[in-house]
Amino acid sequence: MFILVNQPTYKAFGNRAVLIEWLPKIDLEISKRISAFKEAILLSNSQAIQDCIVGYNSLTVIYYSEIRGFESTKQSLELIYSKSASKESQSSSLWKIPVCYDSCFGLDLEAISKTLDLPVSEIILLHSKPTYNIHFIGFLPGFLYLGGMDSKLEIKRKTTPRLNVARGSVAIGGSQTGIYPSSSSGGWNIIGKTPISFFNIAKEDPCFARPGDQVQFVPISLDEFKLLETQKNDNND
C-alpha cells in the first residue's frame, strides 16, 4: 500500500493539457503514485488521451481535443486519482545492466576519486550496490532518470560539458546517475559503459524499461564487455 503523500494540484496547460503536480522532490512513493495515476487515466479514457508525460513530481495529461470546461475535467481526474491511490501501480521489472568500469570507459573515475577522496574500487562498489528506481524517461529517448544513488557519490556536473559522450556511457551528475542511450553532448561525470542498447526505434516498444521499473548495475570486465558487444552486433546482422 502507498504511504500518505500530499494531494496534487491541477493546472490548465495550454488548451489541450492538464499539468498535475506533487511536492517538488524526488520521492519513490510520489513516483509510484504518479505511475498508478497514469495507468488509471489511460484505462478510464484512453481514446481521449493523446499522451501522459511523467516527471519526477508531475504528470501532464494531453488530450486530442481542446478542453472545454477545465473544472469538470479536473473533477474527473480527481475522481480517478482517489480510486487509483488505494491501488498498487503496474507490475514492475528489475533490469540487471552490465557495466564495465575499466579506465578506458571510466573517463572521470580518477578525477572523481580525488574530488571525493574515495578509491576507485569503492566508487564502483557504491555505484553498483543499490537498486535504482526509474522515475521517468526523458532528455534523450531512452534516458532513464534513476533514483537511489548513494549520497557518498554526489558530485557536481562538469564545468565544461563534453561535446560528444559515447552511447552507453554510465555517468554521475549531482545526486543522480544515468546512462546515455545515444551519443550526445553531456556534462555528467563518466564512470563506465554498458553494451546494452536502451532505445531502438525499430521495435514496438523502443525502450524496454519504463517508469516504475528498477535497475541494478552489474560490474563486468573489459573482456566480458567486448564479448557482449560482439554478441549484440551479431544479433543485429
Task: Tell me the per-residue pLDDT of 137-154, one tens digit each, with 9 for 90 and over.
Answer: 877 788 888 889 999 999
Tens-digit pLDDT profile for residues 158-199: 999 999 999 999 999 999 999 999 999 999 999 999 999 887
Closest CA to 182 of 170, 171, 168, 193: 168
Same fold: 9-84 with 94-236: no
- Give the pLDDT band of residue 92 (cuts 50, 70, 90): confident
Ranges of each domain in the chain: 9-84, 94-236
Options 3.20.20.150, 1.10.40.60, 3.30.1360.40, 3.40.630.10; which CATH number does 9-84 get?
Answer: 3.30.1360.40
User: What's the mean pLDDT when you consider all of the chain?
Assistant: 88
Residue 1 confidence (pLDDT) above 50: no
Residue 212: what pLDDT? Answer: 80
Has this prediction a pTM greater than 0.85? Answer: no
Residue 138: what pLDDT? Answer: 76
Residue 43: what pLDDT? Answer: 86
Closest CA to 152 of 177, 180, 188: 177
**Topology at the third CATH level for domain 94-236:** Cyclophilin (2.40.100)
Tens-digit pLDDT profile for residues 62-87: 999 999 899 999 999 999 998 887 66
Mean pLDDT, rounded, for 38-63: 88
Residue 90: what pLDDT? Answer: 56
Residue type, 193: K
Rounded to the nearest 5 degrees, what angle is found at the Cα of 136, between the Cα atoms of 121 and 109?
20
CA distance 27 to 23: 9
Mean pLDDT, rounded, for 200-215: 80
